[in-house]
Amino acid sequence: MLKGARAPLVESTKGTNERKFIHVDMDSFFVSVELLDAPHLVGRPVAVGGTAAERGVISTANYLAREYGVRSGIATATAQRLCPDLVLLPTRFEVYEAVTRRLDAIFRRYTDKVEFLSLDEASLEVTGQSAFNGSATHMAMHIRAAIEQELGLTASAGVAPLKYLAKIASEVQKPNGLFVIVPKDVRGFLDELDVRKIPGVGPKTYAVLENLGCRQCKHVTEEKIPLLMRYLGVHGFYVWERCQGIEEQEERVTHIKSIGIERTLPFDCHDFSSCLQELDRLLEGLRERISEMGDDYLIIKNLVKLKFSDFSISSTEAASNTLSQETVTTLCRLLWDTRREGRSVRLIGLSVKVKRKIQDDIQLELPW
């Protein structure tokens, strides 16, 4: 078991030892599940996805196939050119979903705060749990052992005092590894982290950061905030926060609630322009719902959600005191560029978080 580099904490990570997160990411999940039913294919490059004749794409490839350059989201025809001996298997979502339900049962032995990002990836908050005297590291070790013993599969895990940092940590020792970032190591780990590892930093965002001289998180300083906001909008401030180890906790007050609208598309969406057209229609509908609320609430956040063709869901949010077309378009583009991975979009959701106006608390509690 490895730990992040040691370094003193700074103010932005103060108090992070109060929360504990485990991020579990299954290793080449779809393929690994298929190999349980086809053990004769172990040791061969295998992928799950649509056929080349149907202009299909690869959903998952095992690590042998990845050595040839086969990756999730690439065209099956391309994958077969890269790896002529590739064994292609059809997707069986009902089988994968059954395994995911068993995964969920394992996770809930330790906490009821389980959030699945997709069928093969979940975030667990284990703050205040009694198992193993509250040790998130030991919980992660036992979760991984249970997955291997009960399901015959392997998983990588990350442990950290921040949710997004636990996800990053889960990738460090992949496959079949565990990486722990203890609170006192957060600042040192982030300082040396490539900014491309920060959630939401795709090729376009990285191009801007690189032009600003920001290749590692330690380069994304407070002095850079005006330029980040200028070139990246509200997303630039989000990137700065994550580079500093700042992660806003979920609202704990009851006078904050969500109002949203979503639509399952009649046809899976493959291009961003069509996605934006649907987003514009949702904007109109949500504005009508907000207007019906009267003047008792203040908007504090905009949120966008996408459901993909494999039924996994990704969402993101940003602080805003209005329902802003510019903000939600930026959020949608962020999800499209960083989380879609070649999949089509089945559903688009749009919502705002609103806060009831209270006489003794009339200022917006914005994150900055």
**Given the DSSP bridges, would you call strands 313-319 and 297-308 parallel, antiparallel or unpaired?**
antiparallel
Q: Which of 156, 163, 183 is nearest to 12 (CA)?
A: 183
Distance (Å, rounded) from C-alpha 245 to C-alpha 247? 6
What residues form DSSP beta bridges with 49?
58
Q: Which of 121, 125, 241, 317 is catalytic?
A: 121
Please list, residue by residue across 199-237, b when 16 or more beta carbons sit within 10 angstroms of its beta carbon and e when fewer do. bbbeeebbebbeebebebbbebeeebbeebeeebbbbbb
Q: Cis peptide leading into 266, omega within 30 of 0?
A: no
What residues form DSSP beta bridges with 58?
49
Active site residue 67: no
Whole-angstrom CA distances from 189 to 9, 169, 213, 238, 247 are: 10, 10, 19, 19, 16
23's enclosing H/E stretch is strand 21-26
Q: Which of 138, 182, 127, 154 is nearest to 36 (CA)?
A: 154
**Residue 315 in tokens:** 């969402």
Residues with a catalytic annotation lie at 121
